[in-house]
Structure 1
Amino acid sequence: MLKNNIKLIHFVLLISLLNFLFFHFPFFSFVFENVDYKSISGIFLIISLIILMLVANAFAFYLFYFLSRYVGKFLLVITFIISSIAVYFINTYSVIIDESMIGNVLNTNYSESSTFFSFKLVLYVLLLGILPSIYIIKAKVTTVPLKKFFITISLTLLFMLTMVFVNASNWLWIDKNSKTLGGLAMPWSYSVNISLFYIHKSQKNQKEILLPNATIKDNKKSVVVLVIGESVRRANFSLYGYKKDTNPLLSKIPNVHHFNANSNATYTTAGVKSILEYKDTGDLYEILPNYLDRNNVEVIWRTTNWGEPPVHIKNYQDRAFLVPKCKGEGCSYDEVLLTDLNGQILASKKNKILIVLHTSTSHGPTYSKKYPLQFEKFKPVCNSVELGKCSQTELMNAYDNTIVYTDYILSKVIEDLKQLKDYNSAMIFVSDHGESLGEKNLYMHGLPLSMAPKEQYEIPFIVWSSDDSKQLKPNKTLSQHNVFHSVLNFLNVQSPIYDENMNIFK
């Protein structure tokens, strides 16, 4: 084979096969341990992963080699050598090559790294790295016409996309195990995670672009509680016409208004950012809590979740901070966010207060674990993390119970605010994104917005305000960006970037 010319497509398929055989035993060991390989769906998933692994790697190798024969061969050699080292550490120390592990590797000095040297490591590098590299360097690969190149990559991309979508029922399992799978797939584990490490490192060092200074225009005591929902879709709220009574409390409270809204993303980090930023710029501008805190508003952030942009305030309170001060069964759930809420408001020496409660109640796949037992209004429920194994009724019941619990939490917030007679008060509830519950064989969320079903972006936007405070405009469809300007208006904070068209209050 070294003496004769080899076609590029045959070459990359052979290299992909060697990559598969040499470096993916840990990957598929994990798959077999966590998949029912005796079931039809399990067999289909395993076969699909094998095919996708071979084709995706061959595709990448094909692309690199076509763009530059010498650079392509160099990258292949580097790939095999690094992969041989990586799989040595995986097999020997049971590590996962994720972003944190990349950080450990890149921050290790020579004296520490040299302690890992062993004869076994030399054998791995020699047999799995250097020997195939010799073949890669010496192989005589024929060139490919440009037209054939584009036809090949187009058909390959189409094939991979088809394989992905026919496995829609397995997306949840892949998403649930994505960190481990990604940390065991060669060469993607280290190549992707090295990139992510440096991207996130640069973001940590990146400073927010400050917004222009704001001015508080009166001394009237005002408080806004912004509740950020997690994976809450509008369709399952009886306030919006859902046939099951998932809002037994909110439906009876005066001054509760609900509006149609769409999220700007289908995943948490982007969705929360949209709720907190003044408009969609693509840049890292100062977010609402940081902006108000800098301009003399009391800001309190309470969270049982994650994924928010950097929050630079003194009163950042997570579950670990709140639990010791909480009493009762609800402390294991999102009720912990309500711990002594009024006490903290009354203790403030400032007249303007924003409280953000970042919840996690409707986050899948374990919906039935996100609420106390007394809120299990609809039965039977899905208790499996493999949502495709549950009936549609069980899955919907479990999710609907999270909405019933959310209804309770929001009603508790309103009841607390009603007790603050000296304050103008408001509660705004908006979700980061929606959720798929088996429609079109899709589960949870995260599809690109351009192709996501409505269940993943149609969200609730619910507002309550106290009797003597501001009334609401006759709004129709809102967006997450309405939050920033509406909070400024309610607290009577004047700012050059305030947009009256984005304010929901009269």
Structure 2
Amino acid sequence: MNTTVLPMPGSTRVRMRSVWQWRPQVTVELLAMLASVYLALTANAAFWQAAIPNGAQQWRLAISLFLLLFGLHGLLLGLLLGRAWARPMLAVLLAVTAGASYYMQSYGVYLDADMLRNVLHTDWAESRELLTPGLVQHLLLHAGLPILVLWRLKLVRRSLPQGLLVRAGFLLLMWVVMMLGAAISFKDLSSLVRNQHHVRYLVTPANYLYGLGRLATSSSALKGAALLPVGEDAHQVPAAAARKPRLLVLVVGETVRAQNWGLSGYPRQTTPELARLPVVNFHDTRACGSSTEVSLPCMFSALGRQDYDEGKIRSQQSLLHVLQGAGVDVLWRDNQSGCKGVCRDLPFESVATAKDPQLCDGLRCLDEILLRDLPTRRVNDAGDRLIVLHMLGNHGPSYFQRYPAAFKRFQPACENPDLGSCSRTEIVNAYDNAVLYTDHVLARAIDQLQSVQDYDTALLYLSDHGESLGENGLYLHGMPHLIAPEQQLQVPLMMWFSPAFTAQTGLDMDCVGERSRQPTSHDTLFSTVLGLFDVQTSVHRPARDLLLACRTTSAGQPAGSP
């Protein structure tokens, strides 16, 4: 005869009560060690994939790296955590690290200082697009559960002398663990550091803690300091008053890569409207960087990538300041997150939050908003004018939100900001639709400039950087420049000149066409624009002026010649 034993009604409640009353005591040092093991195993998937591509075959290197990660994060936590704030600080660290690891694994990004600057300067409209269900699930699993456990722990109290002594011993132990890790596989470790030194930007959370420290140091050095003057000798020859004034619209694109630019030979015609216009397309143009935070200051700097020095670039005046000093009226009109310091203390106009029911949804505006009420009328005796239009362009991951319904030409298109939920074909289709809309906006801008009476007009379009669309498992942009793929560095460069502008500046368009087939880069923007406005200055570099050899004065000499 079988007998079924039923649980007592109160037994489950007793067990639940005992679990809830579970409050083990641990020292801060033990908590730091447990957290270090957890972070090494759960927050560094991207690091392990890059550093140990052959898995178990590299077991010695894997042990070495684990000990290094364990010791490194133990050292960091040992320096940061005190008993009074250990739990809240560690909870924040777990949440931020879980978010960082999600984006690193999902999009293949590296958390160096430049990427962190991008993150810190991201506005709500950009952030909202990155808050996907996949992120929420990852946070709940990798941060929510350990934080619940963390809050059940009780931390042991110690006297101050005892606490200082134990903490010093703990830090010494972590240092010894790191040295042991380095010794176990020193040869393989040296090879990894030498050949893949950027892999350090995948070590989480050490990567963003170090990056934030660097940014804080550099920001404090620049805070409140006036920009160092550049090109103080700049002047126009001949002066704008001796001729009809010029208007150059400089359109800074966002995240458009050359590989998907129809004018550059992409099999799909993503630039049909520009193809019908007399534009000159430069087929091989390289960006200063793979992110807006790097490229914008760099491309408007006299230094450029060839003489790249981040500190100098961010502390000096830009091309716009030189032009303003030479008498050229300057305006930056923005449909993004600002000019990244390029237009500091200069006229700035944001249209990103305009109230236009046709072009804006309350958080974002389509790029045609940049053309609304474009100031192309001459005011009083104003001379030459430069208007910079900073586009939203192909800013990812929500490519499908960058164009109106009329431009849904390539289907099916990914309509989810979580790119992992879409096929690569769907992602490319959405991206190409956004390029198609950029083509339309540029063509409309040229059409407006053709009807301007007060100025001789021209337009120059240059994208700030490219984009990865799944190649080699990479998405979006922002890879360190030295290892960034071509998709993130090759960008479109396109020019249009009105017949009057061409005649007045003596531009030989056949020569310009020949020049467009030669390699170029963002480094040429500074001197090329100075040349188009007849600005002579010691910071103008003839070798970087794309159009110098194609431009003559009425005397038949190259512009800018003595």
Normalised by the size of structure 2, how large is the TM-score?
A: 0.64
2:85 alignment counterpart: 85
Rate the CA distance shift 1:430–1:146 in 2: closer, same or farther, 3 A: same
Shift of 1:87: 3.5
Cα distance in 1 for partners of 2:454, 2:499 equals 12
Give the 5 Å matches for 1:3-18.
Answer: 18=31
Give the 5 Å matches for 1:278-289.
Answer: 278-280=302-304, 281=307, 282=309, 283-284=312-313, 285-289=316-320
Q: Are 1:434 and 2:447 matched, yes or no?
A: no
Q: Are 1:216 and 2:240 matched, yes or no?
A: no
Which 5+ residue runs of structure 1 have no aligned equivalent?
A: 1-13, 32-40, 42-53, 66-71, 103-119, 175-180
Q: Are 1:410 and 2:442 matched, yes or no?
A: yes
2:409 alignment counterpart: 377
Rate the CA distance shift 1:145–1:159 in 2: closer, same or farther, 3 A: closer
Q: Which amino acid aligns with 2:465?
A: H
Q: Are 1:482 and 2:524 matched, yes or no?
A: yes
1:44 alignment counterpart: none
Checking the alignment, whether the CA contact within 8 Å between 1:330 and 1:372 is kept in structure 2 is no
Query: Which of 450, 456, 472 pairs up with 2:488?
Result: 456
Rate the CA distance shift 1:159–1:353 in 2: closer, same or farther, 3 A: same
Q: What's the secondary structure of 1:329's corresponding residue?
A: coil
Query: Which of 323, 327, 334 pairs up with 2:354?
Result: 323
Query: Which of 317, 323, 333 pairs up with 1:292?
Result: 323
Checking the alignment, whether the CA contact within 8 Å between 2:281 and 2:492 is kept in structure 1 is no
Query: Which of 489, 494, 506 pairs up with 2:536?
Result: 494
Which 5+ residue runs of structure 2 have no aligned equivalent?
A: 1-26, 44-48, 50-62, 101-115, 121-150, 552-562
Rate the CA distance shift 1:451–1:189 in 2: closer, same or farther, 3 A: closer
Percent of aligned pairs sharing the same letter: 25
1:76-108 residue CA offsets vs partner (Å, 9 max, x unmatched): 6433328x61542675999969999x9xxxxxx
Q: Which amino acid aligns with 1:293?
A: Q
Cα distance in 2 for partners of 1:363, 1:125 equals 49
Shift of 1:192: 4.7
Q: Are 1:241 and 2:265 matched, yes or no?
A: yes
Q: Which amino acid aligns with 1:88?
A: P
2:299 alignment counterpart: 275
Rate the CA distance shift 1:135–1:402 in 2: closer, same or farther, 3 A: same
Cα distance in 2 for partners of 1:242, 1:153 equals 47
Shift of 1:372: 1.2
Checking the alignment, whether the CA contact within 8 Å between 1:59 and 1:156 is kept in structure 2 is no
Q: Are 1:253 and 2:303 matched, yes or no?
A: no
Query: Which of 304, 327, 336 pairs up with 2:335?
Result: 304
Cα distance in 1 for partners of 2:539, 2:197 equals 43
Cα distance in 1 for partners of 2:340, 2:323 equals 16
Checking the alignment, whether the CA contact within 8 Å between 1:299 and 1:313 is kept in structure 2 is no
Shift of 1:137: 3.7
1:205-237 residue CA offsets vs partner (Å, 9 max, x unmatched): 343331232112222310111111111101111
Q: How many residues align?
A: 428
Checking the alignment, whether the CA contact within 8 Å between 1:304 and 1:318 is kept in structure 2 is yes
Q: What's the secondary structure of 2:330's corresponding residue?
A: strand
Q: What's the secondary structure of 2:500's corresponding residue?
A: coil
Shift of 1:253: 0.9
Which shifted more, 266-275 or 383-392?
383-392
Shift of 1:481: 1.7
1:447-505 residue CA offsets vs partner (Å, 9 max, x unmatched): 22222221111111101011122334321211112111111111112212212222222
Q: Are 1:339 and 2:372 matched, yes or no?
A: yes
Cα distance in 1 for partners of 2:414, 2:325 equals 45
Give the 5 Å matches for 1:466-481.
Answer: 466-470=498-502, 471=507, 472=509, 473=512, 474-475=514-515, 476-481=518-523
Q: Which amino acid aligns with 1:382?
A: C
Shift of 1:276: 0.6
Shift of 1:443: 1.2
2:8 alignment counterpart: none
Q: Are 1:425 and 2:457 matched, yes or no?
A: yes
Rate the CA distance shift 1:264–1:153 in 2: closer, same or farther, 3 A: farther
2:57 alignment counterpart: none
1:108 alignment counterpart: none
Shift of 1:24: 9.6
Q: Which amino acid aligns with 1:79?
A: L
Cα distance in 2 for partners of 1:263, 1:272 equals 10
Checking the alignment, whether the CA contact within 8 Å between 2:36 and 2:70 is kept in structure 1 is no
Shift of 1:239: 1.0
Q: What's the secondary structure of 2:81's corresponding residue?
A: helix
Shift of 1:295: 2.7
Rate the CA distance shift 1:157–1:348 in 2: closer, same or farther, 3 A: farther
Q: Which amino acid aligns with 1:295?
A: A
Shift of 1:429: 0.8
Superposition CA RMSD, Å: 4.6
Cα distance in 1 for partners of 2:295, 2:197 equals 25
Q: Which has the larger radius of gyration?
A: 2
Cα distance in 1 for partners of 2:207, 2:73 equals 14
Rate the CA distance shift 1:318–1:25 in 2: closer, same or farther, 3 A: farther
1:177 alignment counterpart: none
Rate the CA distance shift 1:384–1:130 in 2: closer, same or farther, 3 A: farther
Q: What's the secondary structure of 1:81's corresponding residue?
A: coil
Query: Which of 361, 367, 370 pairs up with 2:399?
Result: 367
2:212 alignment counterpart: 193
Q: Which amino acid aligns with 1:490?
A: L
1:15-64 residue CA offsets vs partner (Å, 9 max, x unmatched): 998426358999999x9xxxxxxxxx9xxxxxxxxxxxx98785267479
Q: What's the secondary structure of 1:242's corresponding residue?
A: coil
Q: What's the secondary structure of 1:361's corresponding residue?
A: coil
Shift of 1:146: 8.1
Checking the alignment, whether the CA contact within 8 Å between 1:266 and 1:457 is kept in structure 2 is yes
Cα distance in 2 for partners of 1:344, 1:62 equals 62
Rate the CA distance shift 1:138–1:433 in 2: closer, same or farther, 3 A: closer
2:34 alignment counterpart: 21
Q: What's the secondary structure of 2:501's corresponding residue?
A: coil
Cα distance in 2 for partners of 1:441, 1:96 equals 23
Q: What's the secondary structure of 1:469's corresponding residue?
A: helix
Shift of 1:123: 6.2
Q: What's the secondary structure of 1:291's corresponding residue?
A: helix
